[in-house]
Structure 1
Amino acid sequence: MLERLFQLKAHRTNVRTEIIAGITTFLAMAYILFVNPSILGATGMDKGAVFVATCLAAAIGSVLMGLIANYPIALAPGMGLNAFFTYTVVLHMGYSWQVALGAVFISAILFFALSIFKIREWIIRSIPLPLRSAIAAGIGLFLALIALESSGIVVANQATLVGLGDLTKPGPLFAMLGFILIVVLEARRVPGAVLIGILAVTVLAIVFGYTPFGGVVSMPPSLAPTFLQLDIKGALNVGMISVVFAFLFVDVFDNSGTLIGVTKRAGLSDEEGNIPKMGRALLADSAAALFGSLLGTSTTTSYVESAAGVSAGGRTGLTAIVVGALFLLSLFFAPLAGSVPAFATAPALLFVAVLMASGLAEIDWKDITVAAPVTVTALAMPLTYSIANGIAFGFITWTLVKLLSGRGRELNAALIVLSTLFVIKLGWLSA
């Protein structure tokens, strides 16, 4: 049955590898189970209900991706989108969290429509191959920054923006140990190197008392406080148009960027960089965003941490199904899932960053009209802490450089239209 559903032999994988990959991806993104309730809880939402909504949204989204598209890409409420939901829409603009959920629902409907009519597919196929490589590399650099920050190796510095953390503390030491372990195991071609690295660091941290063992089982809280509590009528207010557009805009390009980066790393795209079954993948993640808003959480999106599972050998939707199952189990094993510290998953993200940055080797660096937009794209993602911003700067730079260099024939309608929209978004809607 599994062979028929996921075509394991055709993808040169097996059930054991897919399970290991699913566990690896889950451990790399399990932090969302605790971060999302904390952020959304600041709006007045019940944290217990948000925890359950996060688990269910991630499970439903991942299963949809696995069954519909057969891709090893997991979904969960997106980081960045949850911060925009809380700190901009609710706390800054003054809307209730119910209205904010209504805006998420409306943006998800529009998102779904874009996928049904293949507008998103047309957009992604219009991205030049060098920009796709830059997006993959940029996501890798973004993951690296997240890993270095979460482990305490890189810290904020008022004078220089970022600086070196205290390397004598447990977090940085364990993270560096885990990274070296993963690289060495991978070099020796040990199966599941990333997963082994995560678990080894977690066990050591618990044994030496740096990470508390949170227990095993707890009953899940009630979902009632957030389930179907969205205010769609309130979200139809004229003042919410820019909010709905922002949710839609970021979701479309965060999802697209992740889809391009992860499928490229998994070797699932063709020689021209096109993604087979892309329409199905877009349909799956847009449907997941819709379900998430009904459950009571901010926009559900594809996770770049899926690349961790890909590096562990995940190649089919069975990986995503495993992730979905683990999120369902997390409803009852929240204390156990919480025992994995951030500095244990950071080495996996840093290792994946190394792999994804290799896409830059495919760039024609002698062509400055290609090299410049690629560099801008890759650097803007980590330095603005946003995949969407990196894509925006990349599109604008690519279009202007080609046009002003007398090479406008290399542009297509989608690039020109999207670059114009990006200028409007960055210049006016961000103000």
Structure 2
Amino acid sequence: MSNNSHAQTGFLERTFKLSENKTNVKTEIIAGITTFMTMGYILAVNPNILSAANMDQGGVFTATALSAIIATLIMAFYANYPFVLAPGMGLNAFFAFTVCGVMGHSWEFALTAVFLEGIIFILMSFVNAREAIVNAIPMNLKNAVSVGIGLFIAFIGFQGAGIIVGDDATLVKLGSLTEPAAIVAILGIIITGILLYKKVRGAILIGILISTVIGLPLGVTPIPDNLVSLPPSLSKVAFKLNFSEIFTLDMLVVMFTFLFVDVFDTIGTLVGVASKADMLDEKGTLPRVKPALFADAVGTTVGALLGTSTVTTYVESASGVAEGGRTGLTALTSAILFALALFLAPIFGIIPTAATAPALVIVGLFMMSPIMKIDLDDFTEAIPAFLTIIMMPIAYSIAEGIVFGMVSYAVLKLLTGRGKEVSPVVYILSILFVLKYIFL
């Protein structure tokens, strides 16, 4: 090995403490590539979803990649963990379809809510307030939120492919399964399912790419003029915050929803993936959790400025951990690949909604697993959890699901003589939610 190679290895050893974490450069790089392969689909899906809020798709693509790079580099060098971050699934759907769709706000309003949420998250990372919020919200509702978001984004996927369509008599019904878009989506779900069964790394991303190719002869996928280009401009989406409505109740509800889901997603992912890698200490807590949460919070804040929805730690990081990733070098490798992907925007830009629909459906499935942790025998727990889950897809709103769950939880506990089980935070939020429905 050359002196230069020795120096590079020495730098990586000192920076990421590879020997201390019982890993090596080769293992970490392979783990980083694996993680990118499993979550690279976000470069296609996120611009697709946020374009429904009338955001510039090219600009969102660049913002998605840049926010992932910045947050992941902080995770790599500051926290030294193999976790990778990017704009989160579920919250991008809430951004586009609830805040901008159902509630009728501009995407600038939504970006402002994300920005404010990020600032609050940064402050929480320093003062330990996140524990207070986490402890205040009942565990069954935390699990129900994940399940409800899973159903909601799967529903959006089916709609995007025309498999589910609107209907005056029944509100929704099955669309024509012989339409090209529906055929592409159905084949994509089957192909992705087979790849997942065979444990192929990057199954979701590969499924999207194969579906895109299938869409070419069917006229669903446009043919690109070129495959490599400079990154699309951020000018149409970056620094477009609108502070004119920051003191409205709608802003409070939207901002809290972003914060609520972001905090629980992040902590759940960090603890869940870390436990698989034996990174938790003897008390079951994660060392260096503050810098890990700080990476998430800064990613969200910077992402909002650049023009994308909430950045969060990806559960797909577990795929890299499964490959042996144990340090920030895994995250650094993924960040470098996101940087290279910036120059492949034409490829990601031609991917049609029908090709990303299978990813939404499959990710929806992944988000269902917490349902096994919900206590269905205690009806003061089960009913609020169920309302949280069911209201998200049928009300077409993550926020409404959370509202129904929290208010019903507070009311049922109070009227069954178990009011002391409810945190004052939940009571205060429930009262605010009820007032919103009465007066707004």
Q: Normalization by structure 1: what TM-score? A: 0.76
- CA distance in 2 between partners of 1:276 and 1:425 (Å): 40
Paired-residue identity, %: 35
Q: Is the 8 A contact 1:308 1:348 kept in 2?
A: no
Shift of 1:154: 1.4
- CA distance in 2 between partners of 1:152 and 1:8 (Å): 49
Q: Which residue of 2 aligns with 1:130?
A: 140
The Cα RMSD (Å) is 4.2
- CA distance in 2 between partners of 1:86 and 1:133 (Å): 26
Correspondences of 1:41-120 after superposition (within 5 Å):
41=55, 52-65=62-75, 67-68=77-78, 70=81, 71-75=83-87, 78-81=92-95, 105=115, 108-120=118-130
| SS of residue in 1 equivalent to 2:300 | helix
Q: 1:386 aligns with which of 397, 409, 425?
A: 397
Q: What letter matches 1:248 in structure 2?
A: M
**1:191-214 deviation per Cα after TM superposition (whole angstroms, max 9, x unaligned):** 444344333323333366542342
2:258 aligned with 1:251? yes
Q: 2:194 aligns with which of 169, 184, 205?
A: 184
Alignment: residue pair count? 411
Q: Which residue of 2 aligns with 1:407?
A: 418
Q: 2:37 aligns with which of 15, 19, 23?
A: 23
2:14 aligned with 1:4? no
- CA distance in 2 between partners of 1:7 and 1:161 (Å): 55
Q: Is the 8 A contact 1:104 1:293 kept in 2?
A: yes
- CA distance in 1 between partners of 2:93 and 2:237 (Å): 19
Q: Which residue of 2 aligns with 1:205?
A: 215
Q: Normalization by structure 2: what TM-score? A: 0.75
Shift of 1:145: 1.2
> CA, structure 1 residues 266+252, in 2 after alignment: closer, same or farther (shift >3 Å)?
same
> CA, structure 1 residues 163+338, in 2 after alignment: closer, same or farther (shift >3 Å)?
same
Q: Is the 8 A contact 2:31 2:319 kept in 1?
A: no
Q: Which residue of 1 aligns with 2:47?
A: 33
2:174 aligned with 1:164? yes
- CA distance in 2 between partners of 1:332 and 1:361 (Å): 42
Q: Is the 8 A contact 2:97 2:396 kept in 1?
A: no
Shift of 1:287: 1.7
- CA distance in 2 between partners of 1:86 and 1:141 (Å): 20
- CA distance in 2 between partners of 1:54 and 1:191 (Å): 22
Q: Structure 1, unaligned stretches of length 5 or more?
A: none
Correspondences of 1:232-271 after superposition (within 5 Å):
235=243, 240-242=246-248, 244-259=251-266, 262=269, 266=273, 268=275
> CA, structure 1 residues 135+260, in 2 after alignment: closer, same or farther (shift >3 Å)?
farther
**1:112-139 deviation per Cα after TM superposition (whole angstroms, max 9, x unaligned):** 3244322233202333322222122222
Shift of 1:366: 1.9
Q: Is the 8 A contact 1:49 1:224 kept in 2?
A: yes
- CA distance in 2 between partners of 1:261 and 1:382 (Å): 22
- CA distance in 2 between partners of 1:334 and 1:292 (Å): 18
- CA distance in 1 between partners of 2:285 and 2:380 (Å): 22
2:152 aligned with 1:147? no
**1:230-269 deviation per Cα after TM superposition (whole angstroms, max 9, x unaligned):** 67xxx3x6x5411653553232123134336655774749
**1:388-418 deviation per Cα after TM superposition (whole angstroms, max 9, x unaligned):** 3322322222221112111223223333333
- CA distance in 2 between partners of 1:50 and 1:185 (Å): 28
Q: Is the 8 A contact 2:58 2:232 kept in 1?
A: yes
- CA distance in 2 between partners of 1:262 and 1:427 (Å): 36
Q: Which residue of 1 aligns with 2:229?
A: 218
Q: Is the 8 A contact 1:148 1:350 kept in 2?
A: yes
- CA distance in 1 between partners of 2:347 and 2:409 (Å): 47
2:366 aligned with 1:355? yes
